[in-house]
Structure 1
Amino acid sequence: MRDKEIKEAVKERYSKIATKEESYCECSCCGGESADMVIQQAKAAGYTDAELGSIPEEAVFGLGCGNPTALAEIKEGETVLDLGSGGGIDVFLAARKVGDKGKVIGVDMTSSMIEKAVENVEKGGYINVEFRLGEIEDLPVESDSVDVIISNCVINLTPDKSKAYSEAFRVLKSGGRILVSDLVTEGEIPEEIRKSFQAWSDCVTGAMEKQDYLNTIKNAGFREVEVLEEHFFTEPNMDERLVTKIVSVQVRALK
């Protein structure tokens, strides 16, 4: 697979999700077939009813494999960056934590998702958030300008995770922190699945082996890389060859 082809496949998939041309896939990081299923998927990822009820309904796609805002210890007045912000669920939750003196920036490479997120800004009347079109391997963000970086089941989608983490390190202030919810693997993934564009956009093919993933973060310059939580990731329709091989991790690291 070529990086450009992977990105186009992922972008096409998430554009369809944003515009509701496609509303169901087997991976909970991709969206549900009904409003109730979307909410259930979001709750399964770690969001509470109170959190989901505090943001625009259209910001919730049932995407994600964790709730990074719950573990990032976001403080009032901080600047937060969300890598792969989608419809804005984590941006809007972070916005409540940073308050009027803080700021939250969401970056997504899918224009349809950015359009949806901007609509949600207007619906929610947010004044401390901003969405930017861009790739996480080439962030449209100034160096040393962010206190906290969050991301939810997105970095596994990029072909160049080393570049993504190097960019995260670049934009983060000294002493800043990153809290990422993502999928990794334990054990070999069958080659035919590895070669599948569908599986890549389902957050499976691009997942790295767990220790390699943690080493990638360390090699980007981060220190105190720590797995805060982890559990096997399963879905009712998951290929049986993947059971006990896909792991959801919540990783924190410091600059």
Structure 2
Amino acid sequence: MLLSARRVAPDGIAYGLDASDAMLALARANAAEAEVSNARFLHGRIEDVPLPDTSVDVVISNCVINLSADKPAVLAETFRVLRPGGRIGISDVIAAVDLDPATRADAEARVGCARGTLTAAEYERLLAETGFTGITITPVGDAGDGLHSAIVRAGKPR
């Protein structure tokens, strides 16, 4: 998040969202130590983002969406807060199509942020149903047992 704050336009703001007061306090302390003044840290959940409609240009998520039990709500909130022409960049874990339920459950238990993994096709379908376009899902690493790290990119139409 601090790297993003340094990359936005001079008058831009980078928002960080967390449901944990302890993590928010740590993030604020890290921002102060790094002398980053354009970072804002919000208490909330990814299913109910405390920002107005069409208020951000880019949403970045790192291995968090899998942890939500309501992925359609997460993607709808992401779409809601994005300005037309906005884009998303998500790093997440995806599951191979042919994983049987027991192997998938074992693999998800072993890999820290893999609970509730989607296949690439499931991810793409949910993004498209939400209204995202230009969807790409690129596996970038093997997490073992049929799980893969992936970069998910998409945009909100103008």
Share of identical aligned residues, percent? 35
What SS is found at the alignment partner of 1:141?
Answer: coil
Q: Structure 1 length as normaliser, TM-score? A: 0.56
Runs of 4+ in 1 over 6 A off after TM superposition: none
1:191 aligns with 2:82: no
Q: Which of 135, 140, 143 is the aligned partner of 2:53?
A: 143
Q: Which residue of 2 aligns with 1:252?
A: 153
Deviation at 1:95, TM superposition (A): 1.2
Q: Structure 2 length as normaliser, TM-score? A: 0.89
Q: Which of 129, 151, 157 is the aligned partner of 2:39?
A: 129
| Structure 2 residue ranges without an equivalent (≥5) | none
**Whole-Å separation in 1 of the counterparts to 2:141 and 2:60:** 21
Deviation at 1:231, TM superposition (A): 2.8
Q: Which of 109, 112, 131 is the aligned partner of 1:221?
A: 131
**Whole-Å separation in 1 of the counterparts to 2:92 and 2:24:** 21
- Residues 14, 38 of structure 2: 8 Å contact kept: yes
Which string of whole-angstrom CA distances, capped at 9 and with x for unpartnered residues, describes residues 105-160 of structure 1?
00011222111101111111111100011100011111011011111111111111
What SS is found at the alignment partner of 1:178?
Answer: strand
Higher strand content, 1 or 2: 2
Residues 189/104 of structure 1: CA separation in 2 closer, same or farther (3 Å cut): farther
Q: Which of 15, 40, 64 is the aligned partner of 1:154?
A: 64
What SS is found at the alignment partner of 1:121?
Answer: helix
1:106 aligns with 2:16: yes
Residues 200/221 of structure 1: CA separation in 2 closer, same or farther (3 Å cut): farther
- Kindly tell me the number of residue pairs found equivalent between the two proteins: 155
Which string of whole-angstrom CA distances, capped at 9 and with x for unpartnered residues, describes residues 19-71 of structure 1?
xxxxxxxxxxxxxxxxxxxxxxxxxxxxxxxxxxxxxxxxxxxxxxxxxxxxx
Task: Report the AA paired with residue 233 of structure 1.
Answer: D
- Residues 100, 127 of structure 1: 8 Å contact kept: no
Higher helix content, 1 or 2: 1
Residues 201/161 of structure 1: CA separation in 2 closer, same or farther (3 Å cut): farther
Q: Which residue of 2 aligns with 1:208?
A: 118
1:170 aligns with 2:76: no
What SS is found at the alignment partner of 1:233?
Answer: strand
| Structure 1 residue ranges without an equivalent (≥5) | 1-90, 235-241
